[in-house]
Structure 1
Amino acid sequence: MTRKRTTTAQAEDDMPDTGAGTPEEGGGKRTGAPGPMVAVRDLVRTYGSGPAAVRALRGATFEVPRGELVAVRGRSGAGKTTLLNLIGGLDRPDAGRVVVDGVDLAGLGERRTAALRRDRIGFVFQTFGLVPVLTAAENVGVPLRMRRVPWREREERVDLLLSLVGLREHAAQRPGELSGGQQQRVAIARALANRPALLIADEPTAQLDAQTGEAVMDLLRAVVDDEGVTVLMTTHDGGLLARADRVLELRDGVVAEAADPEAGGA
């Protein structure tokens, strides 16, 4: 597979000049040019202070092109989840800049950051995060309820998404009645409910067996190829890394394109 290459220098040169500006209701001020889906520059995040401080990110710079599946690998504790949380607006960096879908997160308050997450970003976690008392269909419909989407439109969207992930016949089942792979597919359907531009997946196959993990990866690949969604995921599974359009490596708080994309991380 031939993968597109983006160097750190290119990421810095091509960084969209969004500026904070006055955010619009949909989540922030956007640029006219498409640009990359995600652009990160000089990102720093430290936990604690003094001798016990842990510097998870030390000036990470990279970008994620639109319509690609990009994987980030790195050893356990390298800061992969921290990186995704900063890109998804779940945490704030100590320094540096994050631009998502043309929106500079630094210029957003809490309300508009929440709107950005609701309208443009979908999240998939390794622990699934489904509501136990709700059916598969009801779990998928939660983001649509939050946006007060009309009932008929909501039902049609949920049915379409459950069909997409191959679980239409399981719509009335609750998470405890589904396998781990089925629960993760419901979680992916829920993440796609609001038609996000970016899907962030944190170790989405970590709790699944190899065969089920491969099926979930097939689904993520299809989401990119057929739905045009950009996917940014973390994983250290060599088989999954081989399915990505590009692989980035997080080491010592810095992100670089992996020298051997198909090799697994520690």
Structure 2
Amino acid sequence: MSDGAMVVVEDVHRTFGEGDRAVHAVRGVSFTARAGELTALRGRSGSGKTTLLNLVGGLDTPSSGSISIAGTDLAGLDEAGRLELRRDRIGFVFQSFGLISVLTAAENVGVPMRLRKVAVKEREERVRTLLAMVGLAEHAEQRPTEMSGGQQQRVAVARALANEPALLIADEPTGQLDSDTGLAIMQLLRAVVRSEGVTALVATHDPQLMELADRVVELRDGRIVE
């Protein structure tokens, strides 16, 4: 990993379909996200933000170009390797929260650690630490249906940090929240980057939220706007 780069994207293209029906979602994108920084991806709906995040997160593969995470070239990984990378090195936060409704906040945060077979005592201690970090220590036994949207997203952030990822990917994490709650979530992400030393890529179209980022990468029609 050279020059403190956590994410290196080089001339990445992603095309869906062929011929006249081909959709060029990402067109020759190159950028670097440094370790310990929050990078905001800015752009209107359809600009390619989500596709780019899916590529960086190993949820999709580029049509051409290269992506590396912490010095690991994603093209060199098979599906099992990508799964391991997503489980151990990357945390995801989604616009729709993605919580399991039948589980409590504490149980939701603990799910990634269960998948890694983390010892019960260590898992429970980490869950308590994370819920306290996001301001929900007193809501550990509540289920998503008993929580506000902002509280649910805080649980989602805590869950994303469960396995101490190097990279946090958040796709419009404030999209379903009112402006004040959205700002609070973005401030939380900003604080998490500083306290945990994690690198964050956050897709957003809210100018107020972008002010909290270390840098902004703007996408338009699948290309970076200089």
Same fold (TM over 0.5): yes
Q: CA deviation at 1:58?
A: 1.1
Q: Superposed, which structure 2 residues align to 1:62-77 within 5 Å?
A: 62-77=31-46
Q: Which residue of 2 aligns with 1:218?
A: 187
In the superposition, the TM-score normalised over structure 1's length comes to 0.83
Counterpart Cα distance in 2 of 1:132 and 1:253 = 35
In the superposition, the TM-score normalised over structure 2's length comes to 0.98
Q: CA deviation at 1:254?
A: 1.7
Counterpart Cα distance in 2 of 1:86 and 1:183 = 26
Counterpart Cα distance in 2 of 1:171 and 1:198 = 25
Is the counterpart of residue 42 in structure 1 residue 11 in structure 2?
Answer: yes
Is the counterpart of residue 93 in structure 1 residue 40 in structure 2?
Answer: no
Which of 222, 226, 235 is 2:204 aligned to? 235
Find the structure with the greater CA-based Rg: 1
Q: Which residue of 2 aligns with 1:190?
A: 159
> More deviation in 218-227 or 103-112?
218-227
Is the counterpart of residue 155 in structure 1 residue 124 in structure 2?
Answer: yes
Counterpart Cα distance in 2 of 1:196 and 1:227 = 9
Counterpart Cα distance in 1 of 2:225 and 2:90 = 24
Q: Superposed, which structure 2 residues align to 1:80-119 within 5 Å?
A: 80-119=49-88
- Size of the aligned set, in residue pairs, is 226
Counterpart Cα distance in 2 of 1:101 and 1:256 = 25
Q: Deviations over 1:213-256 (max 9, x none)?
A: 01101100101111111110100101001110100011232224
Asked if the contact 1:61–1:254 (Cα under 8 Å) also holds between the matched residues in 2, the reply is no
Structure 2 segments unaligned to the other structure (5+ residues): none
Relative to total residues, which structure has the larger helix share, 1 or 2? Answer: 2
Identity among equivalent positions (%) equals 65
Asked if the contact 1:37–1:65 (Cα under 8 Å) also holds between the matched residues in 2, the reply is yes
Greater relative contact order structure (CA < 8 Å, 6+ sep): 2
Q: CA deviation at 1:81?
A: 0.3
Asked if the contact 2:46–2:221 (Cα under 8 Å) also holds between the matched residues in 1, the reply is no
Q: Which residue of 2 aligns with 1:137?
A: 106
**In structure 2, what residue type is equivalent to 1:57?**
V
Counterpart Cα distance in 1 of 2:30 and 2:49 = 14
Q: Superposed, which structure 2 residues align to 1:24-63 within 5 Å?
A: 33=2, 35-63=4-32
Asked if the contact 1:67–1:224 (Cα under 8 Å) also holds between the matched residues in 2, the reply is yes
> More deviation in 71-80 or 138-147?
71-80
**Secondary structure, aligned partner of 2:15:** strand
Counterpart Cα distance in 2 of 1:209 and 1:74 = 19
**Secondary structure, aligned partner of 1:77:** coil
Which of 141, 145, 155 is 1:172 aligned to? 141
Counterpart Cα distance in 2 of 1:110 and 1:217 = 32
Counterpart Cα distance in 2 of 1:251 and 1:78 = 5
Which of 151, 158, 178 is 1:209 aligned to? 178
Counterpart Cα distance in 2 of 1:96 and 1:35 = 21
Q: Which residue of 1 aligns with 2:168?
A: 199
